[in-house]
Structure 1
Amino acid sequence: MTILRVPDNLPVNTTDLDLTFNNITILYNGDFLHLVNLRYLDVSFNPIHTVQSSSFNGLSSLLRLEFNGHVLNYSEASMPVDIFKPLHTLTNLSMRSDISRFYRSPLNDLPDIAFGSLTNLRHLNIDTGPRTVFKSGFSNLTKLRYLVLGDTVAHGTSFSCGLGTLTNETLKGLMKTQITYIQLNGCSLQTFQRDSLKYLTNLTDFIMQGASLMKGDLQNIFKALTVFQNKSMSTVSITNLQSDSIYIAVGSSVHLKTLCPICVSHIDLDSSDIIFLDLQGVPLFNCPLIKCMKSINLRHNRISFGGLSILSFFFVPFFSNLETVDISLQRKLSVDEALSVHHGGHVPSPILLPLFLPPKIKSLNIAGISSNAGPLWDIKFLNGTNVQFLNLSYSGFRDFNHTLIGLESLEIFDLSHNDMSITSKTFFDTFPNLKQLRLNCVQFDNGFILQHGKGLFGQLKKLENFDLSDNDLVFLPSDIFSSLVTLRVINLAFNNLITIPDLTSLGKLNFIDLSHNSFTTLGNNYRKMLDKTAEFNNGLNLSLLGNTFSCDCESTGFLIWLEETSVKLDGGNYSCMDITGQMSYTKTVQTKWKAFQRYCVSGFWLIVSMGGTSFVVVTLISAFIFIKNKMKLKLILLRMIGQNIYPKKRNEFLYDAYIIYTDSIISWVFNELRIELETSGKIKLNLRDRDHVPGGCLADDILEAVRDSWKVVLILTEDFLKSDLAYFTMCNCLSAITLTTPQRLIIVIDHQMRIPTNIDFLLEAVPQRNIITVDIEATHTHFNYSGLADIILYEETSQ
């Protein structure tokens, strides 16, 4: 229930009073008369249109007044001149409202006499209109330090800046104040005159974020700041500046000579459409800006650093107090650079290139300053002993078979989205104090990591956070992390991993991300290792989302582990292929656990009972038969105990065969294979480029096509094994072989392909009859299409 006026029965000792979001329209005389101990009062978001002259009588101790969301029109009728006289202790006042209500009758004059009574005020957040001028009454606010005129938020509601002009007279009434901070965020200024800030003689912080200039650009604001030459300022923040100048298409140039006489500690020019830094005329030995600057942010502009004169780099050592530099993510308007492609191998450095840094620099972010920075050099950083953060990501660097020295104190290093396919085995040895290493999508060679992974990162004894995500890694050395005993977070997401490195030596490990890899199960050795790590570390968080697991009888241990492990999983419910070859979830299988267990256990006990007659002979024969005809044998045995499971028929599927191929043989598939099998042989085929909806998820398309097809014909070529989804496709082809479809997979091998050993698991699971070797380039004379058609049409008998 909302109240209509200030309650009159509040305790005398009340110190904080919140009356927000009620329906009070008038503050009456004496409403707060007895609240002499009140320190904080918030009457925001009431439709207050009138405040009577003695409304605040009694508030002799009030320090802060929040009066936002009102509907006062700032006239003497709504705000009498003596309204604030009782508030001689007030230090903070916020009076912001919806300025759109002033469009017909602009708010130009604030009641300066009324505000002039607040002689102890330090912080003022006030409404303004398009041509508001602070008149002489505000000169009584001699202790005022903070002035907020720009966009602000109160109780989750935004209030916009109404100021439309900043002339030489706008702030004149504030000349006797002690304002050190002014905020003009979001102001849309038609005018920004050069001497508009000259009356704020004590200003140290100029904040103007998300504002816009109808005339002029960034340089106009710099010229207005020249009134503070030979003075010190803490912060100049002009970010996301919008300009309606006719020169907007070419951006702004920043002439540092303009700001040179001002001693500014922190400069933030983020997203201000800067295209050029002009250092011409800057007095190198007599520039307070260069000597005082501690941080500079130029990110999200359009600066081309390649266009700077080489003389510019001689300025670097003179920034004697500079600690933080951010020049990242420069937006170039160059099509050629955006379309550039990296080429070439290792390029030796002719010399050890010296690179000067400011003597106190701690943080350097140059991410994304180029899309093709090219080969790295052997570099010696001078004055780099204090550098703790270095970001070179998204910059198109390649050929890391080089050495960077002079950054021994570096703690955070980001090389993400560069090309590290060529990397020196000792590249990271010169960064012994690294705590965070980000190597997301750096195109590591898997063979190189397998052979040199432990040595490559072995010297990072203090590493805590390690990101190796999105690198197409299939295997990692089991001991790659063994010497990194301080690791707390490991990110291996978005790879193709099927193994997990040893984690038992990582006593501080808290989280490992294995999401979106190629795991179909976690073997007993991995489960024990994860449990041991969780026990030793008093907890372990593990992410497995995005992997498609196998929910068959062989995965029973894994399914039980998901329910019982002490490892903290990311939900514990993962997609999987069930025993029928259908997509399901691990939780779904667990809810039908008894039926699943009966299904898996029955075959085992039947084999045990039959083996009693002749243990040795029957065991050997059974093993041989089971290995060669695993699915068929299971089917026969289950029928013997009354399980009515029969092979699926061809007419139960939408397609007769799903053909899996790569783009390199698409012509043969459509011009020969399709004609022989489909046109002549009347076999209905599922072809990716004809039957799948363009733009869909490739993994989902594969799963759906396997499910809808009677047989799956996998054409193994060199290009297929190099594809991103090769391992995923082979695993799902194997998952298609079930009790009801034991002869489902047919493999066609290109005669010219060298068969790698890591696909033995696939070939061993397919009967020899279903494996065909052919020279694809000479298929019109050598390929036995009728033989392939017979295999596709072959149906298991329900014997």
Structure 2
Amino acid sequence: MRFTTSLGIRKAFLSLHGLQHRSMETINFQRVLPSSSMSAEAKLQATKLESQVLQYLGNICVKQLIVVDCAVYLMDVPSLMATTFSKCIEHMDLQKNQLQAYDQTYFATVLTFVHLRYLDLSFSSNAKRLSVCETTTKSRFGVSSGRFNSKRSASLPLIIHLPRNLSHVNICGISTHFDRWDKPDIKFVNGEAFNILNMSFIGLTDVSVGISGLENLHTLDLSYNFDMNIEPSFLDAFPNISKLYLGGRSLKDNYLMEHGKRLFQHLERLSVLDISHNDLNILPRDILKSNPQIKVINLGNNKFQTFPIDTKTTPSLSTLDLSDNSLSELDAATTAALDKMVDRDSKKGLSLMLENNLMFCGCSSQRFILWLFETPVQLDNGRNYKCISENGSVTTTRDIYNRFEQEWRSCVGPFWLFLAIIGLIMQAATILCIILVMKFKSRIISFFLRIFGAPLRLPHRRDFPYHAFICYTQSAEQFVWYDMVKRNLRLYLRDREILPGDEMVDGIMQGIMESWKTVFVLTQNVDEDQWMTFAVKAGVYNITDLRTDRVLVLVHSEYDQQIPDPILRIIDEDCIFRYSPQTTDRDPVWNDLHNAIIGHEY
């Protein structure tokens, strides 16, 4: 029997009057809605199923009752207790209605349906989960009722007898007010056949109760119960779980980082895990090390920036959903590990979902772009994902792959250009070094011999009979004799050392060669004295790399500008000493000049 008209669900149930005391396979009401022309009050009345409306159903032995999307506002389920209906019903599907909050009497009545196998009281279908999760169940209905609890002592377990054949219960999205499962402990009887339980969207906040009797449960959905406080040992009561759904902000921040490994520790048969929509950005890499049989992991709609799990701990993995995260690329180690999980000989594959991750398509991610289109891993969206290029524009991975050679050249070109420039510079430097070595071969050999301690003896002050050769003009003769001779130095003075009749040129050259230092005393019109000019040229010529400080200059402060250019080109400022008419015997300039002449031994 099936109704799909605008008759209204109330009239549809009243029409069962003629079917009383009969046995039926199925009663199916889908989208049996009141007429749109009815007033609001009439529509509300047409969606109420009180006891007098359900009395005819109570006298029918039917195996399946399907009332789907009929806008049922009220259904007096307790009135069906101890009726013919309660003894025959096996399958109850009441999903997508607008039933008000269920309380203890509703569930107590359903538990008396001894042959019940399937129960679906869910408010919304899977396709509507995202819209439903925007508000809590309580705010959606705005109705309160008594809690499903017991007045017995908290130290004694609450014993619940289930229909022996009950295997599937879906109470997704209904307002049960079971917001806390903390006490007392619950013991289920006759739960051997019970294997699917959907309790998503029901407003659970605390799950710390001890449960027993549901050891054969293989599917548990607690998703979209926001920020639940789950006892880490809670799932130990369900050792045979193979499918677990904890998505939709069901877990508090950092809960899985702190308790994740303990939460899944004893679920050795777990094959499907959904922890999507939890705003996760990090997980323990070995969170699933105790779950080697896991095949499907849904980590979509989180905030992961790097690959979150260690594939070595999930050898049976076949599907991994990382869509709607913050991944920009996968590193080389991760892509290699994913490739190893594909065994073409045994036809073992791996599906990876990466849609709605904004990838990076720069030079550093070229390896990843190639991997997307060459890996044996099955990828979603035709392997084509949005990505940001080096210049900030939005493109796609397929577009980058189609012009990969051009992109590769733009990435490696600057590097090779830089390398070529460095090579040219090195080549030019090598040629220059060769030219310098050929031109100054002897000088370079001598330099390195000195640096590395070759047996090359450098001149010492004690090798010279005079401390300094003093070169002066006639106008400075009195200054030299009266101010410099008394400095306790062995000085070569041409007027004293060159005897009458000797060649002046030979005497000057001998004085320079036999003196440790050469001191030029510069006064006015120094360039007009021919012997002074000759001595300057000879002294400059006598300077070598071994003794660059051999020439000193003592100049009158008024004649600084008259220092000959040949001297200025070869001496440092430290080798120039200035005096004036006010200079006394104790002036520091004499001490400085003395120290410069004596110098240091090499």
Structure 1 residues 553 and 298: alpha-carbon distance in aligned structure 2, compared to 1, 3 A threshold: same
Q: Is the counterpart of residue 220 in structure 1 residue 18 in structure 2?
A: no
Alpha-carbon separation, structure 2, partners of 1:435 and 1:214: 41
| 2:378 match | 568
1:337 alignment partner AA: S
CA drift at 1:515: 1.0
2:551 maps to none
TM-score by length of 1: 0.45
State how far apart, in whole Å, the 2-side matches of 1:609 and 1:551 are. Answer: 27
Q: Given that residues 410 and 431 in structure 1 are in contact (C-alpha distance below 8 angstroms), is that contact kept between their aligned partners in structure 2?
A: yes
Q: Against the structure 1 CA distance between its residues 515 and 311, is the aligned structure 2 distance closer, same or farther, given a 3 Å change threshold?
A: closer
Task: Output the CA distance in 1 between the equivalents of 2:254 and 2:323.
Answer: 22
In 1, Cα distance between the equivalents of 2:271 and 2:228? Answer: 24
- 1:232 aligned residue (5, 20, 23): 23
Q: Which residue of 2 aligns with 1:292?
A: 88
Contact 1:476 1:499 in 2 (8 A): no
1:268 partnered with 2:60:
no
Separation in 1, partners of 2:239, 2:320: 23
Q: Tell me the TM-score normalized by structure 2.
A: 0.59
Give, as a single letter, the amino acid of the residue that structure 2 aligns with 1:240: R
Segment drifting more, 213-222 vs 314-323: 213-222
Note if contact 1:252-1:273 (Cα within 8 Å) is conserved in structure 2.
no
State the SS of the aligned residue for 1:554. helix
- Report the residue type matching 1:544 in the other structure: L
Is 1:243 matched up with 2:41?
Answer: no
CA RMSD of aligned residues (A): 3.3
Q: Deviations over 1:239-277 (max 9, x none)?
A: 321234773223221434433332211111223333333
Q: Does 1:395 align with 2:193?
A: no
CA shift, 1:283, in A, is 6.7
Aligned match for 2:112, one of 300, 306, 318: 318
| Other structure's SS at 1:413 match | strand
The higher relative CO (CA closer than 8 Å, separation ≥ 6) is in 2
Q: Which residue in 1 is equivalent to 2:214? A: 407
Candidates 451, 454, 457, aligned match of 2:258: 451
Aligned equivalents of 2:257, 2:65: Cα separation in 1: 46
User: What's the CA shift for 1:451?
Assistant: 2.7
- Cα drift, residue 336 of structure 1: 7.3
Tell me whether 1:495 sits opposite 2:306 in the alignment. no
Residue identity opposite 1:252 in structure 2: K
Contact 1:482 1:503 in 2 (8 A): no
Q: Distance in 2 between the 1:580 and 1:282 partners? A: 70
Q: Which runs of 5+ in 1 are unaligned?
A: 1-205, 342-348, 616-799
- Match for 1:357 among 162, 173, 196? 162
Pairing 1:341-490 to 2, within 5 Å after superposition: 350=154, 352-370=157-175, 373-377=178-182, 378-490=185-297
Query: What letter matches 2:30 in structure 1?
Result: T
Letter in 2 for 1:355: I
**Residue of 575, 578, 581 corresponding to 2:389:** 578
Instruction: Determine helix, strand or coil for the equivalent of 1:535.
Output: coil
Q: Alpha carbons of 1:603 and 1:452: their partners in 2 closer, same or farther (altered >3 Å)?
A: farther
Give 1:298 deviation, angstroms: 1.7
Whether the 8 Å CA contact 2:204–2:228 is kept in 1: the answer is: no
The equivalent of 2:415 in structure 1 is 604
Is contact 2:50-2:75 (8 Å) kept? yes
Question: Which residue does the alignment assign to 1:559?
Answer: 369
Offset at 1:495? 0.7
User: What are the equivalent positions in structure 2 for 1:531-570 lying under 5 Å apart?
Assistant: 531-535=339-343, 538-570=348-380
1: CA distance, partners of 2:107 / 2:372? 58
| One-letter code aligned to 1:582 | S
Mark the CA change 1:527 to 1:301 in structure 2 (over 3 Å): closer, same or farther: same
How much has 1:321 moved relative to structure 2?
0.9
Give 1:225 deviation, angstroms: 2.0
Task: State the shift of 1:429 in Å.
Answer: 1.6
Query: What is the rounded CA distance, in whole Å, between the counterparts of 2:86 and 2:414 in structure 1?
Result: 81
Tell me if structure 2 keeps the 8 A contact 1:460–1:484.
yes
Counterpart residue type for residue 296 of structure 1: M
SS of 2:293's partner is coil
- Cα distance in 1 between the residues matched to 2:281 and 2:205: 22
- The residue type paired with residue 42 of structure 2 is Y
Structure 1 counterpart of 2:361, one-letter code: C
Alpha carbons 1:496, 1:518 under 8 Å: kept:
yes
Q: Provide structure 2 residue ranges, at least 5 long, that are not aligned to the other structure.
A: 126-131, 144-152, 427-602
Matches within 5 A, 1:45-64: none
Q: Which has the larger radius of gyration?
A: 2
Question: Percent identity of the aligned residues?
Answer: 31
Cross-structure match for 1:329: 123
| Alpha-carbon separation, structure 2, partners of 1:538 and 1:329 | 38
Amino acid aligned to 1:543 = M
Structure 2 match to 1:518: 326
Q: 1:321/1:281 Cα in 2 relative to 1: closer, same or farther (>3 Å)?
A: closer
The amino acid that maps onto 1:424 is E
Question: Helix, strand or coil for the counterpart of 1:338?
Answer: helix
1:353-400 Cα offsets, whole Å, 9 max, x none, are 433322221110111112864223343333322111111111111122
Amino acid at match of 1:472: D
Paired with 1:249 and 1:340, the residues of 2 have a C-alpha distance of 17
Paired with 1:215 and 1:506, the residues of 2 have a C-alpha distance of: 50
TM superposition shift of 1:528 = 0.9
Amino acid at match of 1:234: E
* Counterpart Cα distance in 1 of 2:252 and 2:424: 55
Secondary structure of 1:419's counterpart equals coil
**Corresponding residue to 1:338 among 123, 140, 156:** 140
**One-letter code aligned to 1:356:** H
Q: CA separation in 1, counterparts of 2:223 and 2:406? A: 48
Q: Deviations over 1:401-443 (max 9, x none)?
A: 3433322111111112112442211122211111221222134
Distance 1:456 1:216 in 2: 47
Deviation at 1:303, TM superposition (A): 2.5
Summarize the Cα distance change of 1:581–1:317 in structure 2 as closer, same or farther, 3 Å threshold: closer
Aligned counterparts, 1:9-88, within 5 A: none
Partners of 2:240 and 2:264 in 1: CA distance: 12
Q: C-alpha displacement at 1:214, in angstroms?
A: 7.6
Q: Does 1:527 align with 2:323?
A: no
CA distance in 2, matches of 1:214, 1:449: 48
Which structure has greater helix proportion? 2
Pick closer, same or farther for the CA change 1:282–1:390 going to 2, 3 Å. Answer: closer
Deviation sequence 1:317-341 (CA, Å, 0-9, x none): 4322111111110899x99732879
Q: Is the 8 A contact 1:340 1:372 kept in 2?
A: no
Aligned twin of 2:563: none
- Are 2:137 and 2:201, in contact at CA under 8 Å, matched by a contact in 1? no
Q: Secondary structure at the match of 2:200?
A: coil
SS in 1 for 2:206: strand
- Aligned AA for 2:70? S
Deviation at 1:316, TM superposition (A): 4.1
CA, structure 1 residues 427+318, in 2 after alignment: closer, same or farther (shift >3 Å)? same
Query: What is the identity, as a one-letter code, of the residue corresponding to 1:440?
Result: G
Q: Distance in 2 between matches of 1:247 and 1:451?
A: 54
Bigger mean CA offset, 472-481 vs 402-411:
402-411
SS at match of 1:466: strand
- Seen in structure 2, the aligned counterparts of structure 1 residues 398 and 601 have a Cα distance that, compared at 3 Å, is same
* 8 Å contact kept, 1:338–1:371: no
Aligned length: 394
Where does residue 730 of structure 1 map in the other structure?
A: none
Instruction: Please name the residue that 1:657 is paired with.
Output: none
CA distance in 2, matches of 1:590, 1:216: 62
